[in-house]
Amino acid sequence: MVIAYHSVFTTYGTWLPNDPRGSFSKAVYNAELAALGPILYGRQLPQPQPAVMRRFHTMARPCLARAPVFINEDTRLLVAAGFREAIGRLGIVVHECAIMNNHVHLLVQRSLTASNMS
């Protein structure tokens, strides 16, 4: 029985579809980015060395429409406020929220309505 969902949101340009760390993407829609390598589906073990990641991001940066987005101490409060507003509007229960520098984790309780449908 599912009681909650763990959702992960990445920020723009920080975890790409063909990232050497792996991804759950099924396609790369940017031809320049696709030329950098294939999609490695799922988390790759072992994880690539930092030099491999630096090289990939250096080559990928010119393929992006804008600079990658990172969350800092100033923007973290804005992100939190946005989540608070959306959670209030939707009436969902969030048990945990971690706003990291390049991604967010949310642990969202499954709604009673959804659990009655299964």
How long, in residues, is the chain? 118
Is residue 72's pLDDT more than 60? Answer: yes
For the chain, the structural domain boundaries read: 14-63, 70-116
Give the sign of the dihedral formed by CA 92, CA 102, CA 100, CA 19.
Answer: positive
| Predicted pLDDT at 116 | 47
Minimum mean pLDDT among 31-35, 47-51, 110-114: which range? 110-114
- pLDDT at position 77 over 70: yes
pLDDT for position 111: 80
In this prediction, residues 21-36 reach a mean pLDDT of: 96
Tell whether the model's pLDDT for residue 101 goes beyond 70.
yes
pLDDT for the residue numbered 97: 97
Task: List, in sequence order, every beta strand (DSSP E) within 39-85.
Answer: none
Contacts (Cβ under 8 Å, ≥6 apart) of 5: 107, 108, 110
Residues 62-73 have a mean pLDDT of 96
- pLDDT for residue 113: 63
79 pLDDT above the threshold of 90: yes
Mean pLDDT, rounded, for 29-51: 96
